[in-house]
Structure formats: C-alpha cells, structure tokens
Chain A
Amino acid sequence: MTKWLLIFAALLVALLVVSFGLGGRKEGALEVIGSTSIEPFAEMLAQEYEKAYPGRYVNVQGGGSTAGIQAAINGIADIGMCSRALKADETGFRDFIIARDGLAIVIHPSNPVSNLTRAQIGKVFAGNITNWRGLGGEDRPIHVISREEGSGTREAFMKLVMGKVRVSRKALTQESNGAVKELVRNDPGAIGYMSLGLAHGLKLVAVDGVAPSTEAALSGKYPLVRPFLFVTRGEPSERAKAFIDYVLSPPAQKLLEQEGLVRAK
C-alpha cells in the first residue's frame, strides 16, 4: 500500500517537474491578450510566426477588447487586441490597424429574408420589430441575439447600427462569436451580429442592398466595417514590434484575407 503511494507520489513529482520544465521553455513568450473576435486570427498568425522564427514564442489569449486594453495598461500583455476604435479616454497607446473586419448580420439558413436596411436592423435590435413578417419573412417571432456589455463586437455594432438607441432588454446575450453562431445556426427565428470572418454556415443578410464580402468591405460599399487593432502602451517593445511587423507584412496580410478579413491598407 505504502509502496504504491510512494510510486504515485514520485509520478506526481515527476509530472510537476516536467510541466514546469515545459512551462519554462515558453517563458519570455510575447503576451497578446484581448478581443475574442481577433483571437482566432492572432492565434493563426502566432503559429505561422513561431514557425517562421524558431525560438520566438507568442502566447495569445482572449478576454475581450476592454480586457485587452486593461492588460496592455497593466503590462500583463505586450500587445492588447481591440476590435473597436479606441475611446476618447483611452490615451497613451500606440495602435496598429492589423486588419479590418466586416460585421455580418447573421440569420438561420432557412430564413427567406435576404436584405435589410440599417434602419430595419436597428428597429429589430431595439425591439420595435418583433416578427419576421414585419421584414417580409415568415410569421415567426424574431429572437434577437446580442453580445455582452463591453464586447468590442457589440460596441462596433452599437456605433455602426444603433447610434444612441439601446438594444432591447429582451435581446438574448451570448458571450462569444462562437456562442452567437451556435445559437443562430439552430434557431430559425434568430438574428445576430458577428465577425464576418467567423460567420461560416450561416445566412448573411445584405445590408442596405450590399451583400457582405471582403471585397465589398474593402471597397467601402459594405457599411458595417470595424478596425482590428493591436495596441501597446507607449511605443512597442522590440519583440512586440517584430510581431506587429510580421502581422503587417504582405504574406501575413494575405493569410488574414484568406480567412475572410479585410487587409489593413
């Protein structure tokens, strides 16, 4: 009995040592924290970057745009990711537009509605239009899906569509692009908004007559476009700069474009 306990303890210690060892190797990784909308793209770029420059490590974490800026202020993150324009009181940063993203209005694939004006979308999210019949669709209640207070996607949506109008209290609130997508994919009455680059498998509504696409977003025809920012407190450190330069380089920009984003310039 004791013998087994000893062996077990030894194994545990070994495991700890090994995991610390592995953790240690990653020490000195560049910390990139923030928007859950940018996170998957940053993760992909980080992988490519680590492949291209062996020995350099980038650690990407979500948490949200505001959290990303907080992390950059506190020095927890070398780079904060922010999927909205910086606010007036968020000063002392250097921000780099790494790409732009269309904001897609998403509905269930079976929904016959295919075009909405910004005014209509605003009324739906404000709770003034509550049935798809009011938008030329089937007689079915609209289930409005929004994001939580403070989300970069939500703030971009508020700025681009809602203006000063508040989102209805009855709107469902989900905490990530993924959760919104999952809900809309399964609910024939749902409408939500999410990053265009992540909106696969859903029906995308044309806004003011323009179907969302990277081309339409790049040319400025599609009205719902927001910046993806990397922010640093003051000037970026050398290694942060190296990663930002990589992200802005043509091959990385091309990768982002393939993933459905709009290139920075």
Chain B
Amino acid sequence: MRREKIISLCLLLAALSAISGLALITAFIFKEGLPIMMRAGLGKFVLSSDWYPTEGEFGIFPMIAGSLAVTAGAMVIGVVFGLACAVLLTQFAPPRLVAVVKPSIELLAGIPSVVYGFMGVIILVPFIRDTLGPAMVSLHLAPDPGPGLSVLAASIVLGIMVLPTITSISVDALQAVPRSYREGSLALGATEWQTTHRVLLRAGRSGIVAAIILGMGRAVGETMAVIMVAGNTLDVPHSILAPVRTLTSNIALEMGYAAGDHRKALFATGVVLFVIIMILNTIALAVSRRRAGKAVAR
C-alpha cells in the first residue's frame, strides 16, 4: 500500500515537472516578449513591414506573411502527396509493396532537417533559378525568375518533410474506417475508386484533417531547412519565386547577435509564433474531439 503511494507520488512529480517546464517556458517567452510588443504597439508590431531592430523599428508582418505562405505551399504539396500515398497504401497497393513503401516514408521523418535543407540548396534551388523560374516567367506565371531561394523551394522542402506525418496518420484514419463500410459500398456496385473517395475519405475525414493540422504545425515550426532555402528577405513575397523570411528563421538568424530590445523583439516574434501554433493546435484538438464524439455515437 505504502509502496503504491510512493510510486504514484513519483509519477505525479514527474508529470508535474514536465508540465511546469512547459509552463515556465511559456511564461518566460511572454515575459520577455510582451513588453516590447506593447511598447511598439501590438498593431504596429504585427502589421508593420519595417524590421530594423538595431534602429528600434520592429514590424514582423513580412515574416508572418512568409510563414503563412511557406506553410500553405508546404501543405499543398504535403497533402496531395501524403493523401495519395495513404489511399494507395490502404486501398490499392499489394501488401508486399506496402511493406516496403510505408517504412520508407516513415524513415523520412528520421532524417535531420539540415539534410533536407542541404539537398534543397544543392539541387532544388539551382533548378528553380536556372530552369523552373525562367520557364514560369516565359509562361507569364511569375514576374521574374528570382534567385532560386524562394517560397517555392521552402514549400517543396517542407512538403517533403511533413509527408511522413500526414501519410502515417491518414493511413491510421483510413484503416480505422469499419470494414463493413467498404464492403457495403462495393456490394452496392460502386467501383474501388468511388468507394475510396465517396465513402472511405469521407468516413475518415476528421482523422485526415487532424493529420493535416499536425503536419501544418511541423511546417510552421521548422527552422533550419527553411533558413537554408528561403532566402530570408524582409519583403512580403509577391510571387512563389520570391524569397521570404519566416518567423522561425527570423529568430534563429538573429538570436546569436541580438541584445537589448532586439533580443526582446525576437522573443516577441516567438510570442506571435506561439499564438499561431496554439491556434493550429486548438483546431486539431477540436477536430479530434469531434472524431472521438462520433466514434462514441456510433
């Protein structure tokens, strides 16, 4: 009995220290970041495009736009390929292929982000600068070919990085759809493809949405690979071939040097990032709750 109590106390301590660690980090970021945000004016901080931290001007709008643009691009790539992969793996692929493809996609999650960034710099950036950019300009899809370092490059790299998250959670969601749905649909004369997109994708929708939002969280937060391929300009991107700076890269780029207000402004950048990620996570939580509710109703 006494032993039980000790064990539960230990577990409680462990849990509390983990949570208080998180709480401390949150409190610290807000304590460091909020005052300067208030001093600069919240509206000005978030909506101004003037980031001259050593001259006391802090406007992070281009970084917010950059983060959103890069994340949106990454999601287009990650969702299209991730979902295609998940459907293939759960519905169409022979088991032997699944046994090879699924682990290799999951392996992608284990590659350090700096490797993705390096591949991006060595292969993707020159390709965009020398081939894709001029081609898009000649098709009037972009005003100028740009330096290769771009929204597009960052989106592609991030899209590949979020693939494992999106694929594996979507696979789980699709596999959780009761077998009877599929069998019922096929028995009614629907083809495989009709069954997949009219029945399975709809039944597994909330799980897939959760996968997408988790992937999005990863894309917003990624730093290293983005610094290497995004170009880090302070301009709001006007095309997908234009370079951008994201919130995370702004912090990482300038952290080593920053002092005084500049350093505080970087913490404030962290606060904005924190809020964005909180919003995404809240949505993810709401969606997965709805899923759980549905399962109970069923």
Contacts and interface: CB of A to CB of B under 8 A. Distances in A.
B54 A149 contact: yes
Contact of B147 (A67, A70, A187): A187
A183 to B, nearest CB: 8
Interface residues of B, number: 30
Interface string A158-177: 00000000100111111100
A173 B235 contact: no
B257 A149 contact: yes
B234 A169 contact: yes
Contacts, number: 72
Contacts of A170: 233, 235, 243
Nearest to A62: B256
A169 B129 contact: no
Interface string A41-78: 00000000000000000000001111100100000000
A64 B256 contact: yes
B131 to A, nearest CB: 13
A201 interface: no
A109 B127 CA distance: 19
A189 B253 contact: no
Given A169-B49, A175-B227, A64 B257 contact: yes
A27 interface: no
B256 A63 contact: yes
A190 B253 contact: no
Contact of A148 (B62, B129, B149, B254): B254
Contacts of B231: 172-173
A143 B254 contact: no
Nearest to B260: A89
A71 B44 CA distance: 33
Interface in B20-47: none
A148 B52 CA distance: 11
B232 A174 contact: yes
A151 interface: yes
Contact of A66 (B62, B145, B234, B259): B259
B63 to A, nearest CB: 12
Contact of B253 (A67, A175, A182, A186): A175
Contacts of B228: 179
Given A64-B257, A65-B257, A169 B149 contact: no
A175 B129 CA distance: 20
A63 B144 CA distance: 35
B148 interface: yes
A93 to B, nearest CB: 14
Interface string B242-275: 0101000000011011110010000000000000
A92 interface: no
Contact of A143 (B62, B147, B235): B147
B250 to A, nearest CB: 9
A187 B147 CA distance: 7
Nearest to B258: A150
A141 interface: yes
B259 A70 contact: yes
Given A169-B235, A170-B235, A173-B233, 11 more contacts: A66-B259, A148-B232, A149-B54, A150-B262, A169-B233, A170-B233, A171-B234, A174-B232, A175-B253, A183-B149, A187-B129
Interface of A: 63-67, 70, 141, 143, 148-151, 166, 169-175, 179, 182-183, 186-187, 189-190
12 contacts: A150-B262, A169-B233, A169-B234, A170-B235, A170-B243, A171-B233, A172-B147, A172-B231, A172-B243, A173-B234, A173-B245, A183-B147
Interface of B: 49, 52-54, 62, 121, 125-126, 129, 144-145, 147-149, 227-228, 231-235, 243, 245, 253-254, 256-259, 262
Closest 6 CB pairs of A and B: A150-B257, A173-B232, A143-B147, A66-B257, A169-B234, A169-B235
